[in-house]
Amino acid sequence: MNHAERGETYDLAIVGSGGAAFAAAIAARRRDLSVVMIEQGTVGGTCVNVGCVPSKALLAAAEARHMALDDRFAGIRTSARPADLPTLVGAKRELVDMLRAEKYVDLAAEYGWRIVHRSARFAGEELEELPTSMLVVGGNAVGLELAQLFARLGVDVTVVEVLDRLAPYEEPEISQTIERVFADEGISVVTAATVKHIARNGPAYSVAVEADGEDVVLGTDQLLVATGRRPATAGLAFDTVGVKVGDRGQVVVDDHLRSTNPRVWAAGDVTGHPQLVYVAAAHGAMIVENAFDRAERAVEYEHLPRVTFTSPAIASVGLTDAEAVETGLRCECRVLPLEHVPRAIVNRDPRGVVKIVAERRTGRIRGIHMIGDGAQDAILAGTYAIQSGMTTQQMAATWAPYLTMSEGLRLAAQAFTRDVSMLSCCAA
C-alpha cells in the first residue's frame, strides 16, 4: 500500500490500533513484512483505554469496598469510608497510561512499525464526583458490571432492560441468580421495559419507560447507556473500493475474515463478531496467516468462553439449553446449586449455579454455564472439556482439587447419574 504523504510502500496497512491491529502487526513483523498503522484516536483501542482494563480496575476497587462492609463471617468486624472518586479515577488513569505505553506504544517501537496519528478529540468528560442516583439502560454484560460497580461505591442504581430478564443471553438460572444478587445489594431492576423518552431537567434526567403495559417516569442524576456498540467505519469510503458493510456498519467478511475486496481484510469488533479482546487478537493473527501465507484458516466459536465480571461472576462456554434445541440436538441438562459445592460453603457465599448441557445419547458436553465466586477462572476447564469432546461421564471421573470452584464442574457432571446432596466431601 502506498502512503501518499511520504511516497512509501508497505506490505500491510492497518486502520486502528486495538487488540486485532496489534496482533496483526506483530504477526506481520515476525514475517519481516513492513507495516504502517493508522490511528485517529488514542493508541490501544477499546480494551486498554475504555474497556476491559479500566472497568476491571474500578470493579476491583468497588469489590474491595464492598468486602470491607461484608459481615458474613462471624467474629469479623468490617467498615468502609465513602469512596473518593477523583483519587480512584486518577489511579485508574495511571494504570491505563502505564499499560498503553508498555503493551502498545513501546511495543510498536520494539517491533519496528510506524504509527500514523490523525487528530483526536474527547467525546465527553469523566465523572468528577459520584452521583446520588444512576439509571443504567441495558442489562447485559457492560450494564451489569457498571451497575454493580457504582452501587458498591454508594450510588442508588436502577437497571432498565428491554428483554424480560437480566443477562438475557445467559441461561435463565443465571439470570435469576444475578437478579437476586442485585436485589440483595439494593439495585433496582426494571425488565421488559422500553425507554420512550429522555429529557434533561437541569443537572438531572427524566426517563419515560414503558413496562408491563404501564408508563413510568424515572428520575436520575446520571444516565449510563449500555445497549451495545457500533463499528466506527463511517468516513472510510468503503464503497469506493468495493468493501461491503452491514446494516450496523460492520465489515462483511467470509469465514477467513476476507472482505468483498480480496485485498481488504477485517478483524475484531469491526466484523460484528463477538466483541471480546481475545477474539480480536486471534482475528489479527489469523488474517496475516490467511493473507500472506494463504493458510485459509476459518473462524469458529464452538468453544469460545465469555465472562461478565459481576460479583459473583458469570461465565459460559458452548451452547445454552435453548441454543441446543434450536440446532436440533437432543440434550439433557443438570443444574447444580452452589450450596452443594464445598468451596462456596466455606466462603459462606452459596449464591450461584453450575449448569451443564450435554447430548442425551452420547453424554458429550456441549455447554457449561456458571455464576459464582471464581467462575471466571473455573470456566477455562469447561472450555477445555468442550474443545476436547469430553463427556459428562469422563468429567465426573476426572480429578478435581478439593475446595476449589472448579470442583463444581465435576459435581455437576456427577449429577447426571446420582444425587450429589447424598455425597460426602470429596466423595467419588
Q: State how far the Cα of 40 lies from the Cα of 216, in Å rounded to an integer.
A: 41
Q: State how far the Cα of 241 lies from the Cα of 297, in Å rounded to an integer.
A: 24
Q: State how far the Cα of 239 lies from the Cα of 357, in Å rounded to an integer.
A: 44
Length of the chain: 428
Q: Peptide bond preceding 350: is omega within 30 degrees of 0, i.e. cis?
A: no
Local structure of residue 12 (DSSP, 8 states): E
Q: State how far the Cα of 315 lies from the Cα of 398, in Å rounded to an integer.
A: 21
Residue pair 398/410 in contact (Cβ under 8 Å)? The answer is yes
Amino acid at 64: A
Q: State how far the Cα of 251 lies from the Cα of 367, in Å rounded to an integer.
A: 29
Closest CA to 312 of 51, 66, 138, 55: 66
- Domains of the chain with CATH codes: 2-117 (3.50.50.60), 133-225 (3.50.50.60), 238-292 (no CATH), 305-420 (3.30.390.30)
Q: State how far the Cα of 197 lies from the Cα of 342, in Å rounded to an integer.
A: 48
Q: State how far the Cα of 59 lies from the Cα of 310, in Å rounded to an integer.
A: 8
Residue pair 168/140 in contact (Cβ under 8 Å)? The answer is yes
pLDDT tens digits, the chain, 428 residues: what are they? 444 455 678 999 999 999 999 999 999 999 999 999 999 889 998 999 988 899 999 999 998 998 888 888 888 888 888 889 899 999 999 999 999 999 999 999 999 999 998 644 434 458 788 999 999 999 999 999 999 999 999 999 999 999 999 999 999 999 999 999 999 999 999 999 999 999 998 889 999 999 988 999 999 999 999 998 889 888 889 999 999 999 999 999 999 999 999 999 999 999 999 999 999 999 999 999 999 999 999 989 999 999 999 999 999 999 999 999 999 999 999 999 999 999 999 999 999 999 999 999 999 999 999 999 999 999 999 999 999 999 999 999 999 999 999 999 999 999 999 999 888 776 66
Strands (E), 81-192: 114-117, 133-137, 156-160, 188-190
Local structure of residue 45 (DSSP, 8 states): H
Q: State how far the Cα of 11 lies from the Cα of 64, in Å rounded to an integer.
A: 48
